[in-house]
Structure 1
Amino acid sequence: MMYLMFNNKAYFSSWARMRCSVLSVFVFYALIASASRYPMPSELTLAVETDKKVKADAVVAADGTGNFTTVQAAINAAPDNRNTYFYIYIKRGSYKEVITIPKNKDYIYLYGEDAEYTILTFDNYAKRLKPDGTEFGTSGSATFFANGNFFVAENLTFANTAGMTAGQALAINIGGARSSFRNCRFLGHQDTWYAGSGTFQYLKDCYIEGSVDFIFGGSTAFFDECHIQSTRNGYITAASTPEGQSFGYIFHSCSITAYPTVAHGSVYLGRPWRPYAKVVFLQSSLGKHIRSEGWDNWRNVANESTAFYAEYNSTGEGASPGTRVAWSHQLTRKQATDYTYAKAMGSQHPGFVDDGVAMK
């Protein structure tokens, strides 16, 4: 069934509504363009979506009422080298396991019953010793490793429960080239969410919490209407955007908050893990925990000439354009149009099933 899409949103819900005149379509576009959540030009595109729930290929249930009792077992059951989606429905429950989607298992779609109560969790951390006596290391500490391409997750919690004093402890490590997340939660403290250089992620209506550098890596990621929460003083982002990569992290219409225990003016928007880090906040609400200077150079003045840190139309008690570090940017409306969803992300990520995934 055809749908008219604007900024990846459906505005007509049936084929019948598409049977309008060309003139009506242009009039409709003019109206919604003026009311868009972006006060800037955008694109009108067509997309094809289904209007029925997809039947799961596998059901995971901790209580034994599904095909599998662990998420990893369901992933292992997916055929290798697929070019169509393998849908896994995960019932409510806490699944304590280290989960890996290998590189040879593309097109895995995980669909949780409820984001708050469908929890994928473990408690490894960087300094923890493996059975062979070596440390897990930062990248190896993750609860979930998403190495397959075209991975999609909905309604899930990815958690690392090692604790605030454990140091680096990832909830997720994303190595697959393209992935999407909707209504997912990522819980941890230091280094919660990581994605490798050259990869693309789209996150819609997600929640990410942490303390230090808890969104980090070299990927292109678009955080769309997400909730970003600090658990203590620290740094939200630690981008390592490769030199020459057009985009790093873009936070669009996000809510940036903190636990009530976090002191006012104690959290930076980011610091560059590597030179050429790129982070942009568009029309986001910033809490009073954000420091007035906004950004940190990671004790390296040279980073100030390579990093691109910018805001457009920030609001809230943490919005303070007049006090930001001199080497950051306050974008004009015209400049902000370079960071729209269409330009930065577009078709670089897999789509979602509009009506969800149903159990068999």
Structure 2
Amino acid sequence: MDTSPLIPFRLSALIIALLAILPSAFAEYKTEYTVASDGSGDFFRIQDAIDDCKSFPDLPITIRIKEGRYREKVTVPAWNTKLSLVGEGEVVIAYNSNFKAVDRGRNSTFFTATLEVLANDFTARNITVANTSGPVGQAIALRVEGDRCAFYECKLLGNQDTVYLAGEGNRQYFEKCHIEGTVDYIFGEATAFFEDCVLLCKSGSYITAASTPQSSAYGFVFNRCTVERAEGVGEVYLGRPWRKFARTVFIDCDYGDGINSEGWKNWGWEKPEQTVFYAEYIAKGSKKVAKQRVEWSHQLSKSDLSDYSKESVLAGWEF
């Protein structure tokens, strides 16, 4: 008997069967986790949930963290890409570590972070990250060494060196975050855009210390941010260059009356006007401010602003 008419039917059935199992092939790993300190989730600890995630996943993975205070150091390794940490309620990740306690030589600072993100395509939402060492020197709360890392409505709490943004060419984004510290509390070589954030100065020192590589067109850009001071704190500086090609720009930010009239310090670099780029766009009173600022800083015009949009600064990253 001629069975040739059945062949197309059998092929079609095989294709349908293969298509049916393809989604499960991509979902052979968990894409949703819950962490809860009361035991109601998949894990008690955030790090344990991260360690259970598939490396280099095809699909994004979300870890939802129930309200609570998690006393642990958390690391997102380079292979845990496409990971989101989402706080549900008031979530605090707290850890006590500082330069002296680490005691690993001149680079001890970089080992002190409460949360260190080494992976690309990381997102954090509604999480507080705190280094609880107090005013004892360098003590990082957040260290980011991944590309395309975003933080929404997070609180980053520390003193000296609160937030370290690392990696030449890496792009990082902060929206509606609260960041506080004392000395150089936002520092590093990455390209970062801060939007609608609050910067709380806990001492009369420096907000930023960029170490922008010479090859990077942008360093740190602050858009519509608010600078606040803790009670009793005197005037502060917008920044000083950790390395001589530092680039930092403040656009339409609310300083109150807390910024020193000079605006910036040069950290001892000779002829900073030849290498450092520090600039501001102030809608009101810009001429008065320009006269008071150090002569090697810049005042932007409205026509310059398109060059400092989120899309320009973080070019190539689709949110």
**Interval of TM-score (by shorter of Structure 1 and Structure 2):** 0.7 to 0.9
Helix, strand or coil at the partner of 2:271:
helix
Once residues 103 and 206 of structure 1 are traced to their aligned partners in structure 2, the CA distance between those partners, rounded to angstroms, is 24
Residue 290 of structure 2 is matched in structure 1 by 321
Is 1:106 the equivalent of 2:76? Answer: no
Is 1:173 the equivalent of 2:146? Answer: no
CA shift, 1:126, in A, is 1.1
Name which of 28, 36, 39 aligns with 1:64: 39
Once residues 298 and 134 of structure 1 are traced to their aligned partners in structure 2, the CA distance between those partners, rounded to angstroms, is 23
Contact 2:190-2:219 at 8 Å conserved across structures = yes
Once residues 127 and 344 of structure 1 are traced to their aligned partners in structure 2, the CA distance between those partners, rounded to angstroms, is 36
Contact 1:285-1:316 at 8 Å conserved across structures = no
Contact 1:286-1:314 at 8 Å conserved across structures = no
Name which of 158, 162, 179 aligns with 1:192: 162
Q: How does 1:104-143 map to 2 (within 5 A)?
A: 104-114=79-89, 117-129=90-102, 137-143=108-114
Residue 239 of structure 2 is matched in structure 1 by 270
Q: 1:215-237 CA deviation, whole Å, 9 max, x = no partner? A: 00011100011111101111000
What RMSD, in angstroms, separates the aligned Cα atoms of the two structures?
2.0
Contact 2:95-2:132 at 8 Å conserved across structures = yes
Residue 20 of structure 2 is matched in structure 1 by none
TM-score (normalised: structure 1):
0.76
Q: How does 1:205-284 map to 2 (within 5 A)?
A: 205-263=176-234, 266-284=235-253
Once residues 155 and 59 of structure 2 are traced to their aligned partners in structure 1, the CA distance between those partners, rounded to angstroms, is 26
Q: What are structure 1's unaligned runs of at least 5 residues? A: 1-54, 352-360
Once residues 160 and 315 of structure 1 are traced to their aligned partners in structure 2, the CA distance between those partners, rounded to angstroms, is 37
CA shift, 1:303, in A, is 2.8
Contact 1:287-1:316 at 8 Å conserved across structures = no
CA shift, 1:348, in A, is 2.1
Residue 202 of structure 1 is matched in structure 2 by 173
Does 1 or 2 have the higher relative contact order (CA < 8 Å, sep 6+)?
1
Structure with greater Cα Rg: 2
Contact 1:213-1:235 at 8 Å conserved across structures = yes
Residue 358 of structure 1 is matched in structure 2 by none
Contact 1:205-1:225 at 8 Å conserved across structures = yes
TM-score (normalised: structure 2):
0.86
Q: How does 1:33-112 map to 2 (within 5 A)?
A: 57-112=32-87
CA shift, 1:204, in A, is 0.7
Contact 2:131-2:157 at 8 Å conserved across structures = yes
CA shift, 1:127, in A, is 1.4
Residue 14 of structure 2 is matched in structure 1 by none
Contact 2:31-2:59 at 8 Å conserved across structures = no
Which residue type is aligned with residue 307 of structure 1? V
CA shift, 1:134, in A, is 6.4
Contact 1:258-1:287 at 8 Å conserved across structures = no
Once residues 289 and 296 of structure 1 are traced to their aligned partners in structure 2, the CA distance between those partners, rounded to angstroms, is 15
Helix, strand or coil at the partner of 2:143:
strand
Helix, strand or coil at the partner of 1:276:
coil
CA shift, 1:192, in A, is 0.3
Once residues 89 and 141 of structure 1 are traced to their aligned partners in structure 2, the CA distance between those partners, rounded to angstroms, is 25
Aligned residues: 288
Once residues 135 and 203 of structure 1 are traced to their aligned partners in structure 2, the CA distance between those partners, rounded to angstroms, is 29
Helix, strand or coil at the partner of 2:47:
helix
Once residues 105 and 346 of structure 1 are traced to their aligned partners in structure 2, the CA distance between those partners, rounded to angstroms, is 23
Contact 2:272-2:296 at 8 Å conserved across structures = no
Contact 2:102-2:111 at 8 Å conserved across structures = no
Name which of 108, 123, 133 aligns with 1:152: 123
Q: What are structure 2's unaligned runs of at least 5 residues? A: 1-29
CA shift, 1:314, in A, is 5.4
Which residue type is aligned with residue 306 of structure 2? T
CA shift, 1:176, in A, is 1.1
